[in-house]
């Protein structure tokens, strides 16, 4: 591509929150590189993004395969030019909800290898790329974590631990990249209606009706996407390291 639009990379973007983020960036004039572990369902997202008059392409990537990150970044850069923004959205839930005392090492390693280890090393690879290239656009890294960074759910311990680590990841990269003008941010969604929350939708319908979320409704991918894209555009660059809660007040302490 040869035009002057910025390029965003959105991981885990073939559905759910990631798809919403990809579309929001397209509406704001970004070319979009979508990554996910397989291409199933990606055509629908790509068509929606391209309908906004920008370019979009899918790149198969297993976030847990850290050895493949450098090649992924190179493929994306060859397609779309220097990366202006990385959105760390991809992640997996706990394989099964259950007793904290029954969590297995295999389950623990699986979740942390993707959600924390994979995200750390992809962020590292993109940060290196950003420091080695130039662009006229603002540069940023936005990590979509969860209210589970601070709110404990004992039935999905490995997920909470992985998301908690992303809070420190944001602070570390914010400090490292601040001298280079690269903003690093974290967005913490609450209860968002996506395919991932589908299996527990009835449970959350009941809990929201009972007052779990002060705003009295589910969150939607568009809620998260608007926050992420606003942070990414550089207008809040001096706020680097900041956290934005997209949870309808769920995480606010209450009496």
Give 93-117 pLDDT, tens digit per residue: 999 999 999 999 999 999 999 999 9
Q: Which one-letter DSSP state was computed for residue 35?
A: E
Dmax over Cα atoms in the chain, in whole Å? 56
CA 150 to chain centre: 17
Residues of the chain below pLDDT 50 = none
Say how far apart CA 63 and CA 34 lie, in whole Å. Answer: 12
Residue positions annotated with a catalytic role: 159
Per-residue confidence (pLDDT) for residue 1, from 0 to 100: 65
SS3 content of the chain, % helix, strand, coil (to 5): 50, 15, 35
In this structure, the dihedral spanned by the alpha carbons of residues 124, 116, 170 and 68, taken in order and rounded to 10 degrees, is 20
Q: Are 149 and 202 in contact (CB under 8 A)?
A: no
Residue 160 CB-density burial (10 A; 0-12 exposed, 13-18 middle, 19+ buried): buried
> Residue 130 is encoded by which pair of tokens?
């950003």
Q: What is the CATH number of domain 7-246?
A: 3.40.50.720
Model pLDDT, residue 200:
85
Place of tokens 């939708």: 201
- Alpha-carbon Rg for the chain, nearest whole angstrom, is 18
């Amino acid at each position: 591509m040869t035009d002057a639009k910025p390029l965003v990379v959105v991981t885990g973007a073939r559905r759910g929150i990631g798809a919403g983020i990809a579309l929001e960036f397209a509406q704001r004039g970004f070319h979009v590189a979508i990554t996910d572990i397989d291409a199933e369902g990606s055509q629908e997202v790509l068509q929606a993004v391209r309908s906004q008059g920008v370019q979009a392409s899918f790149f198969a990537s297993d976030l847990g395969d850290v050895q493949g990150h450098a090649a992924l970044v190179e493929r994306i850069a060859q397609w779309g030019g220097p990366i202006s923004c990385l959105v760390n959205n991809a992640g997996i839930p706990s394989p099964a909800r259950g007793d904290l005392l029954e969590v297995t090492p295999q389950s623990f390693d699986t979740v942390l290898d993707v959600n924390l280890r994979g995200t750390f090393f992809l962020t590292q690879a993109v940060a290196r790329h950003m420091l080695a290239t130039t662009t006229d656009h603002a540069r940023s890294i936005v990590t979509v974590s969860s209210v589970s960074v601070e709110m404990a759910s004992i039935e999905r311990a490995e997920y909470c631990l992985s998301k908690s680590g992303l809070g420190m990841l944001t602070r570390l990269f914010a400090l490292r990249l601040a001298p280079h003008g690269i903003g690093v941010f974290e967005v913490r969604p609450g209860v968002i209606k996506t395919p991932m929350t589908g299996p527990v939708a009835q449970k959350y319908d009941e809990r929201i009706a009972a007052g779990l979320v002060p705003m009295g409704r589910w969150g939607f991918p568009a809620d998260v996407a608007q926050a992420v894209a606003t942070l990414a555009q550089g207008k809040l660059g001096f706020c680097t390291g900041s956290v934005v809660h997209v949870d309808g007040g769920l995480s606010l302490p209450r009496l």
